[in-house]
Amino acid sequence: MTAQLQSLALESLESFTDLLVQPSTSILPYEHSGLIVRVLLEDTEIKFEPTFQEFEVLKLERRR
């Protein structure tokens, strides 16, 4: 079970990184998104600021 939780955590971090890093095929591959992501440890829980939902809203607003 420990290996499964570790795998889930690593895959989640990888997916979150994929949201932040522009693909190499991007027209402006070196443009910085200007988004600051904080990783917090509260008791036994790891949290991201902004949350995935807040990040989605920010990305969708930026496209308008």
Give 19-22's long-range contacts (Cβ < 8 A, gap of 24+).
19/55, 19/59
Which pLDDT value is given to residue 1?
79
Domain that holds residue 44: 2-62
- 9 backbone dihedrals φ, ψ, rounded to 5°: -65, -45
> How many domains, the chain?
1
Single pTM value for the model: 0.39
Instruction: Specify which residues 38 forms β-bridges with.
Output: 49
Which pLDDT value is given to residue 51?
84
pLDDT digits (tens, 9 = 90+) for 13-64: 877 776 667 656 666 655 555 667 788 999 999 888 888 888 778 777 765 5
